[in-house]
Structure 1
Amino acid sequence: MRLIYQLSLGLLLVLLTMSSHAEESVWDKAQVSYFGPSNITVYRSPTCGCCKKWVEHLEKHRFTVKDITSNNMQTLKQQYGVPRELASCHTAIIDGYVIEGHVPADDIKRLLIEKPEIAGLTVPAMPVGTPGMEMGGRKDPFYVLQFNKEGQSKPFNAYRDY
């Protein structure tokens, strides 16, 4: 009986390990170490599932998220100076920077370490494979753009083969 219990316990541990690996994302492992302020306010539509997944991505990277749902996202984007052509589904604020869309946590950490004089970062639209937009093995190439208060943008990071 004890052997059956030990085998059952071992099988349970294997199954738990397998299920936890199945849920892992390419974005779960931190590549950038950051130990500064981590409070981030995220504004998102109450019906957007990918936004909630992006919040979970931030939490896995030890950001403290204040998650605020809003039915008036366009007004928030205008308030924080997000250019229409750089917009995505959710908007976040951290340490005075705007984070628009599915920006990987490591890019946010890099931004907070380097502290460039920009308005923020964006991943325009909703590219498949970005944090919160995972769809199996499909990963579309995308850029994280930095933008200034005038709405001008340039690449901050590129993801082609990730």
Structure 2
Amino acid sequence: MRMIRIFLTTLGLAGMLLATPAGAADKPGVTLYKNPQCGCCEGHANYLQQHGFKVTVVPTHDMSLIRRQHGIAERFEGCHIALVDRYVVEGHVSAPAIDKLLKEQPDIKGISLPGMPDGSPGMSGQKTEPFVTYEIGDNPSADKVFVVE
């Protein structure tokens, strides 16, 4: 009986290790600021967690202040703003785009998927066209594409 318990305990621990997303230990934490009433932001936080990020959600009514503090132009605004490593991630940006940002470490403020596109990570609905994620740089009048998905 004792051997069976040891075997099942070992099997359970192995299962937990296998269930951990690949590279989760390598990914930085995410602080996601959102309006307290917004549910799709929670959906995006869950999506990021499923892709190995440890997410801290901070409900706030000061979204415009946070965006101003991080230099986010209005045209780049999404539903929520996240801080990842030294970058700002605005809106429902995909995990692969964030992974690319963290791997390449470009000299920009961050990236943005403006608006709330249907079918984007955390949003309901169907994706109807490719998502365009933009670089957020120091030049507020320049739009540079970071990735198209």
Tell me, yes or no, if structure 1 residue 140 matches structure 2 residue 140: no
Q: What is the aligned partner in structure 2 of residue 91 from structure 1?
A: 81
For 1:21-100, what aligned pairs fall within 5 Å after superposition? 36-100=26-90
Runs (5+) with no aligned partner, structure 1: 1-29
Under a length normalisation based on structure 1, what TM-score does the superposition of the two structures give? Answer: 0.73
Please give the TM-score of this superposition, normalised by the length of structure 2: 0.79
Distance in 1 between the 2:79 and 2:42 partners? 11
* 8 Å CA contact retained: 1:33, 1:109: no
Kindly indicate whether the alpha-carbon contact (under 8 Å) linking 1:101 and 1:124 is maintained by their aligned counterparts in 2.
yes
Q: Percent identity?
A: 34
Q: For residue 17 of structure 1, what is the aligned residue in structure 2?
A: none
Candidates 134, 150, 154, aligned match of 2:139: 150
Kindly report the root-mean-square deviation, in angstroms, between the aligned alpha carbons of the 2 structures: 1.8
Matched positions, count: 127
Q: Report the equivalent of 1:128.
A: 118
What is the rounded CA distance, in whole Å, between the counterparts of 1:108 and 1:101 in structure 2?
12
Offset at 1:66? 1.2
Q: Which runs of 5+ in 2 are unaligned?
A: 1-20
